[in-house]
Amino acid sequence: MRSPLLDLHGAVAADAPDQDVAAHYGEPAQEQRALETGAGFVDRSNRGVVRVSGPDRLSWLHSLLSQRLDALAPHEPTQALLLDANGRIEHHLHLVDDGEAVLAHVEPGTAPALVAFLDRMRFMLRVEVADVTAEYAAVTGPATFEGVAFPDVAGLTTTLIPRAALGSSDLRPAGLWAYEALRIEAHVPRFGRDTDERAIPHEMGWIETAVHLHKGCYRGQETVARVENLGRPPRRLTFLHLDGSVDRLPAHGDPVEIPGGRTVGFVGSAARHRELGPVALALVKRNVPVDADLLAGGVAAAQEVVVPPDTGANAEIALRRQPARRA
């Protein structure tokens, strides 16, 4: 669903899967500054929105997803994963219950498949599932929008507002590049960009935010429990400081190599941060030394640990979150 904000002067559409919103409006660095200082907002109206209603909704979702939801308090936002039978991530949900229904926002283009799966799992339970993407638009910025709110990176808030209200704010529009730079700086992965079809929760650091380790059975729980008890997930998410003298960013999916040309992973997201310069997130093999110099799509890169190699085995997952920046 193409955003009307793409018609604003200077708007440049982002690359797939975000082609329906703006990458920037002609001044990426200034837009990032506006977003950081609370003077801007990002149009993320391409995100899918799913509504689950009915008296059995929380206990039912609790049985399907990785998060404990059976006692979720009204208006308390959380995150959850839908895993396959082998513990691989199929969907990442940001969700909140308003006392009458659960609203969840998900990656662009993924709502129909999620709704189809959930619909098949209803059986005789008192739940209804609907794709309501046409009714809601996600915007990220200061907590000044009226709607269903979710905490986001760098002190920002993502709010689901009526789609008809998109563009009514007096704040400066900032493109998706501005948000992505802050997300990468905060070491927060994005499903479908920083993951692949084999990604599991421990590799991405989602254990601390989207998985409850002591809840009842759900699909894929065996893999989560095994890695938590024994450790040694196959791969780990890492943050990359890229060589700023190169005039390009590595593309999504570009190989990550160690000296000598051996491929040890792939680039997920990359962006230009107005203070840090070019940065990226990558998924690499667990046994890659954390101090090894890397090449990301041919660009020299230094690592900063996000998920440590010894994740699991009941170890504490101490992700190195960056504090919100101030102007």
Closest CA to 45 of 166, 181, 172: 166
Per-residue confidence band for 242, with pLDDT thresholds at 50, 70 and 90: very high
Bridge partners (DSSP) of residue 174 are 42
For 107, the 3-state DSSP assignment is coil
pLDDT tens-place string over residues 160-182: 999 999 989 999 999 999 999 99
Judged by average pLDDT, the poorest of 40-49, 111-120, 308-317 is 308-317
Bridge partners (DSSP) of residue 173 are 41
Residue 261: per-residue pLDDT:
85
Per-residue pLDDT at 326 exceeds 80: no
Per-residue confidence band for 310, with pLDDT thresholds at 50, 70 and 90: confident
* More confident call, 35 vs 318: 35
204: enclosing H helix or E strand: helix 201-204
CA distances from 319 to 240, 247, 308 (A): 15, 30, 8
Per-residue confidence band for 95, with pLDDT thresholds at 50, 70 and 90: very high
Radius of gyration of the chain (CA): 20
241: left (phi over 0), alpha (psi -120 to 50) or beta: beta
Write down the mean pLDDT value for the chain: 94
* pTM (global) more than 0.85: yes
Bridge partners (DSSP) of residue 256 are 265, 296
**CATH class label, 48-131:** alpha beta
**CATH class label, 234-306:** mainly beta
Per-residue pLDDT at 251 exceeds 60: yes
- Residue-range domain boundaries for the chain: 4-47+135-186, 48-131, 234-306
